Amino acid sequence: KTFSSAANKTPQAKTAHIPPPLHRLPACIPSMGSTGTGNNMLQLSVAPMMEVTTRHQRYFMRLLSRRSILYTEMVVDQTVHYNKDKLDRWYGHHESEHPLVLQLGGKCESMIPAAAKLGEEWGFDEINLNVGCPSKTVSKHEFGARLMLKPDLVRNLVTNMQEQVSVPVTVKCRLGVDSFDDYSFVHDFVSSLPECDHFIIHARKCLLNGLSTKDNRTIPPLQYEKVYKLCEDFPDKKFTINGGLTSVEQVKKVLEDGPNLHGVMIGRAAYNDPCFMTKLEYSILGETWCVDLTRRQVIEQYRDYCRKVYETGYVNPLHLIKPINNLLFGIAHAKTFKRILNPQDTRHTPETLLAAFDTILADIPETILDIPIVDTVHHHEMPC
């Protein structure tokens, strides 16, 4: 089973009010079995993040990264079960977002596969089961990372989903939970899921009691070596590594130390510095389509997308601003950029938001907006 590049599997009736494609990308997004210009064996992906990887953020990210696999926010099985007439809110997406993964959370052996089946009907290329979220709310309801303590249930959820869908079913998990943190724990967990051939692993354990969700992303130490060991012990399975990767140099080091890794997943760094994904495509995957991509081009395309969104109905401007807010991360005029997008004395209307994009394009210097995002002079090393 491989990713499907057929973005048109999404039922037309259910997505009629999604903005029509502005920039057709499927031909430029290789399916996982096709050839490209870089490392075609490596998967680069953006982690599912609550209140971050919305449909607007995913569209924006696709402007910066053609090869990355994108994920939805975690969608809870009960949410789907009780809102089948409103699924566009969680399942709706633009065709350019493919390859696109639906992440599901929950523990119900009937609701999870039903939600997965609907996901395939809506055109998702893959279904991922969240077995790593350390949120107190999620843990209270006995799913997320707490499921790692119930491998038999996880196996049932995975196999039940596989019976309902033809697309791949994967698992995203941690290395351990609370005191269950030695290598044998995660080894046994992987062993308990023979039907699953791809694990996305956040390379640290989580503490369900005493740490917030945010702290669980940073305080438990990273243990990349355990993921490398899983690659060696389970050569017939695929492992994608996640956690703490914020620079091209770090990613290169991880791939050097873990040559058997199937993929690399980027989390908060993709939100804090979205251009990071463009740089990874060039430096890690060897893609050359992005060498001339500028921030001006991205702003213009995203502005056009926002205009199309507003033609279909009202959307809170803040939901459209959030994805692009950090486009100038780490370079001059970032504060000016954010100030125009986020005025202190008023709240944007659709008209003023579109006007704000025009102001940015006129007022931010060409030396910022028209310089290619990828620095080919200082990132000239051979791709991994």
* Residues known to be catalytic: 133
Question: Distance (Å, rounded) from C-alpha 276 to C-alpha 118?
Answer: 33
Q: Is the CB of residue 174 less than 8 Å from the CB of residue 202?
A: yes
Q: Is the CB of residue 153 less than 8 Å from the CB of residue 107?
A: yes
- Three-state DSSP state, 199: strand
**Distance from chain centroid for Cα 339:** 27
Token pair for 150: 């119930």
Q: Is the dihedral of CA 318, 89, 18, 168 positive or negative?
A: positive
Tell me the one-letter amino acid at 346: T
Question: Distance (Å, rounded) from C-alpha 169 to C-alpha 160?
Answer: 10
Pairing of β 126-131 and β 43-46: unpaired
Q: Is the CB of residue 76 less than 8 Å from the CB of residue 132?
A: no
**Distance from chain centroid for Cα 119:** 16
**Which residues, including other chains, have CB under 8 Å from residue 48's CB and lie 6 or more apart?**
71, 72, 73, 74, 101, 103, 128, 130, 172
Q: Is the CB of residue 128 less than 8 Å from the CB of residue 199?
A: no
Token pair for 208: 């369900």
Question: Distance (Å, rounded) from C-alpha 125 to C-alpha 6?
Answer: 9
Token pair for 333: 């005029």
- Three-state DSSP state, 180: strand
Question: Distance (Å, rounded) from C-alpha 314 to C-alpha 6?
Answer: 29
Give the DSSP H/E element, type plus range, for residue 252: helix 248-257
Given the structure tokens 């995660």, which residue do they identify? 186
Tell how many helices (H) and how many strands (E) occur in the chain: 16, 8
Question: Distance (Å, rounded) from C-alpha 46 to C-alpha 37?
Answer: 20
Question: Distance (Å, rounded) from C-alpha 39 to C-alpha 49?
Answer: 26
